[in-house]
Structure 1
Amino acid sequence: MISSKPLDIPCSLQERKVLEKIALAAHELGVPAYLIGGFVRDKLLGRKTKDMDIVCVGDGIALAHKVAESLGNNIPVNFFKTYGTAQVKLNDLEIEFVGARKESYREESRNPEVSAGTLQDDQNRRDFTINAMAISLRDIDYGSLLDPFDGLADLDKKIIRTPLAPAQTFSDDPLRMMRGIRFASQLQFTIEEGTFTAIQENAERIRIISQERISDEFNKIMLSVKPSVGLDLLYKSGLLKIIFPQMIDMVGVEMYEGKGHKDNFYHTLQVVDNISENTKDLWLRWAALLHDIGKPATKKFEPGHGWTFHGHDAVGGKMVPRIFGKMKLPLSEKMRLVKKLVELHLRPISLTKENITDSAIRRLLFDAGDDIEGLMMLCEADITSKNKTKVKRYLENFELVRRRLKEVEESDRIRNWQPPITGEMIMETFGLKPGRIVGDLKSAIREAILDGEIPNTYEAAYAFLLEKAGALNLSPVK
């Protein structure tokens, strides 16, 4: 029944068997079915993908149940009647089923009015040509590529282009503007000129999109191999000014008395790219994005010296919670990590100078804790000079700092330091109630250890405590 013709896309043996079962189920239900969208695109590009989208001219939920039954092992079907979609998971493969549809939009909403449609209707509503390609699972042309908008040619040219008029495409669903930029960033493609012009002309429409959806696309851009591609397109399109105005404040170079500072926006994009070469951690990339966010507020020209940004680390740290709140990002340990790294990103640089004390090293270890590696990674990414000699010197200095950090940590065990004498122990020893004196004694012990006055041991800390308490006329309770 199913043609032996090979698929027009490369697939694994498991994927081929699944597609054959889907084709058979569709035949038995009498509904034409097609593999469509991102799976087709990514297979043609040789990218890994685990998500199959199946569109059928008929009931997608019924097809999903039929396919799950044929796969056996009591595979569950997750379906959503309101949207006419269903999902089946098979090992690491996620298969989504939907009936072909056509859409119409109202100006004030991105939620379309949906009605049943043909394959052509469904391809017409797709965001970009490279996402509108389909593979037929019908008997008569099984495995054939159905590509009405030359998406295959656009893949070859590495172009992002809309199937229909771009202005209408983006006006209907403004989130597609961010998706287009995200695909350009992920795939390292170019957005076709007319398509990009339409994004610029419709940028204000992004305001009708929920912040959660905007941030989801923004984070996907941040996770691309070279995030600066997408971030720069967001800026040039006018979208960044609307969704993240604090970034726009960093754009440009101001000259005064013949002196200018570097463009902090493009410096930041380079830092994000630099750190992305070494980590896929989204929140370390966010720390790179925000490390200089406090500079516009602290910029000042000092005669005889030039431009300064004193305190931009502290100011930037205070901005992080507000930015995360506005962007609807998690106000949890993720935000606290980014805030900490923004506040500390200048500290390791100061440690590259000569005659840095062990005390300064201990304090950095104490403040950074387990995030010290992420901090050092950020500091190294922050080197964006085109002078290779200067870059080499900076990296060598940071390597010296790393060695000092390791040596001090091995001898003093300061990272994630817990006081050898707790507040409870102080209260019990001297018969005190909670109050300022207990806090002062705890702080004195901590400072003495960080300054290297006493070793980080219980015995040394207890002896120091007795000495300090004696000066306050406190005696141990007998």
Structure 2
Amino acid sequence: MAVPNQNENPDPSPDRRTAIAELLRRIAPVAGELGDRFAAAGHELALVGGPVRDALLRRPTKDVDLTTDAPPQRILELIDGWADAVWTIGIDFGTVGLRKAGVELEITTYRSESYDPKSRKPEVSYGTSLVEDLRRRDFAVNAMAARLPGHEFVDPFGGLADLQRKVLRTPGRPEDSFSDDPLRMMRAARFASQLGFTVAPDVVRAMTDMAGRIEIVSAERIRDELSKLISGRHPREGLALLVDTGLAAHVLPELPKLRLEIDEHHRHKDVYEHSLIVLEQAIAQEEDGPDLVLRLAALLHDIGKPRTRRFEPGGRVSFHHHEVVGAKLARKRLTALRYPKDVVADVSRLVELHLRFHGYGTGEWTDSAVRRYVRDAGPLLSRLHKLTRADCTTRNRRKADRLRRTYDDLEARIERLAQEEELAAIRPEIDGNEIQEILGIGPGPLVGKAYRFLLELRLDQGVIGKDAAAAELRRWAAAEGVGAPEDGSEDGGTEGGDA
């Protein structure tokens, strides 16, 4: 089908054409062979959406998305015996996946989809026009295609111009687009974060007016978009868009609640702005790409403050135990968003621990307290270091330098103890089997109680040697009235596990 007119389908610059050609070469000969197969059968095939956009932006892309006028069953017939592997998990939505020569592709039949106002599932209908298929896509920058074979560039809605201006518009009216799929409002914020694009004013207005529609979308789909947003290069822009349009009130209500009213004496910080700065400062410390757990913890670390704010005598404002309340709120929200259990546990634990350092003072902690800090952080210690450092947003240079030096000192002490005591794997010097042998008891709750005593001993005194630890265990057992006597004889004691 011919494109609507030349003005709607400007020829990309030589540089842009080269970018598309490079993408097509990367998936050749697969794309060429597939295009020939579909053309020979009288069907259209085109590379579409994200891969075209990313090629034009010179960004790497893992996806190879294709679209066609062939219905799903016809797609299966055309790739039968040609593809190395086929999967049909998305066939109800018109999508067939395949792998050929190490390249994975998804082919989707031209379609339109819309949501019933009370339904979480879209109604899918198939179409016959590439341009109409592009019309129903979320944003004009994702509504560009390259036909196969032939590589004809198709851009009926000005996506190339939007890429050059770094703006997000919908191909048609944003109200129609968001009515068809409310998740596209989240995608607008996600692309603002990933690409650093601004969002057109009419799109922002539609997002604001229709924010409540997001509630018909499943928690899993919202979670996936939120994770991509937070993991983007510019998460502040995406999060601000969620808050300003009211979407955050439906998907992450704890975030806009951080906009606490500031009294005229400015007796406390703007917690919302502080949290965004902490997020940015945590990101600046990342070493191996986006760390979703660290970023979520940085964003949510103070969400307990609105519930714990108290106005004290003398004009002071307090947020006592906000880290405990915040940890519970983080766990509840992330669970509702269907995050994996390990992510929920790690983020809520970091929120709970983020204030612990402030008890360190100017280095008054004993070695025992340092060991407990490491023990409580466990495998999250590196992230806790980054979160704690990021949490310093004071403009007072002297105070900031003092906090930095103090945390430097704590990390140095942790490193020293780690070298001396294998601190990262703190455990008693006597294991469960040895406890049973020393006390003359069998398996049971008493072994766990003795183990916990020995762990506290290890934290308090460090490495004291097995003989000394065994002597302390016998003294503890004697005080508890259980186990073998201190001289090691086997008379006396209680039945194992009945303490």
Q: TM-score, normalised by structure 1?
A: 0.89
Q: Which residue of 1 aligns with 2:274?
A: 267
RMSD: 2.6
Mapped pair 1:117 → 2:128:
yes
Select which of 157, 169, 179 maps to 2:177: 169
Residue 435 to residue 93, structure 1, CA distance change in 2 (3 Å):
closer
Match of 1:128 in 2: 139
- Are 1:349 and 2:358 matched, yes or no? yes
Q: How does 1:136-151 map onto structure 2 within 5 Å?
A: 136-138=147-149, 142-151=150-159
State the 1:437 CA deviation: 6.5
Aligned-pair identity in percent equals 35
Residues 313-349 of structure 1, C-alpha deviation per residue, up to 9 Å, x if partnerless?
Answer: 1222222332222111122x32222222111111223
1:166, distance to aligned residue in structure 2 (A): 0.7
Distance of aligned partners of 1:304 and 1:46 in 2 relative to their CA distance in 1, 3 Å threshold: same
The equivalent position to 1:43 in structure 2, one of 47, 52, 55, is 55
- Partner residue in 1 for 2:9: none
Q: What residue in structure 2 maps to residue 82 of structure 1?
A: 92
The aligned runs of 1:269-348 (5 Å cut-off) are: 269-279=276-286, 280-304=290-314, 306-331=316-341, 333-348=342-357
Q: 1:468 to 1:177 in 2, by over 3 A?
A: same
CA distance in 2, matches of 1:437, 1:305: 52
Q: Would the alpha carbon gap of residues 281 and 326 (structure 1) be closer, same or farther in structure 2, given more than 3 Å must change?
A: same
Deviations 1:274-307 (A, max 9, x none): 2223332211212212211211121112223611
Aligned to 1:213: 221
CA distance in 2, matches of 1:227, 1:105: 28
Residues in 1 aligned to 2:71 and 2:275: alpha-carbon distance in whole angstroms: 49
- Deviation string 1:154-193 (CA, Å, 9 cap, x unpaired) is 0011101101011111122111110111111110100000
Query: Does the Cα contact within 8 Å between 2:30 and 2:101 map onto a contact in 1?
Result: no
Within 2, Cα distance between the matches of 1:375 and 1:442? 27
8 Å contact from structure 1 (residues 431, 477) kept in 2 = no
Give the Cα separation in 2 of the matches to 1:104 and 1:370. 45
Aligned position for 1:241: 249
User: Are the structure 2 counterparts of residues 294 and 424 from structure 1 closer, same or farther at C-alpha, using a change threshold of 3 Å?
Assistant: farther
Q: Is the Cα contact below 8 Å between 1:36 and 1:132 reproduced in 2?
A: yes
- Tell me the secondary structure at the aligned position of residue 363 of structure 2: coil
Deviates more, 1:48-57 or 1:231-240: 48-57
**Partner AA of 1:52 in structure 2:** V
Amino acid at match of 1:145: F
Question: Shift in Å at residue 95 of structure 1?
Answer: 1.1
- Three-state SS of the structure 1 residue aligned to 2:411 is helix
Match of 2:39 among 24, 27, 33: 27
Task: Give the TM-score, by structure 2 length.
Answer: 0.86
Letter in 2 for 1:361: V
**In structure 2, do the counterparts of structure 1 residues 184 and 259 end up closer, same or farther at CA, with 3 Å as the change threshold?**
closer
Contact kept, 8 Å, 2:114 with 2:181, in 1: the verdict is no
CA distance in 1, matches of 2:18, 2:132: 23
Q: Matched residues in 1 for 2:247 and 2:357: separation?
A: 35
Structure 1 CA distance for aligned equivalents of residues 47 and 242 of structure 2:
31
Cα distance in structure 2, aligned partners of 1:223 and 1:471: 54
Answer yes or no: is 1:405 the counterpart of 2:414: yes
Q: Deviations over 1:431-455 (max 9, x none)?
A: 4577886665444433332222x63
Paired residue type of 1:17: P
Q: Where does the alignment leave 5 or more consecutive residues of structure 1 unmatched?
A: none
Partner of 1:376: 385
SS at match of 1:278: coil
Deviations 1:361-394 (A, max 9, x none): 1111121122211110111111223344543433
Query: C-alpha deviations, 1:392-438, integer Å up to 9, x for none?
Result: 43323222211111001222233332222345544443345778866
Where in structure 2 are there 5+ consecutive unaligned residues?
Answer: 1-13, 491-499
Cα drift, residue 469 of structure 1: 3.2
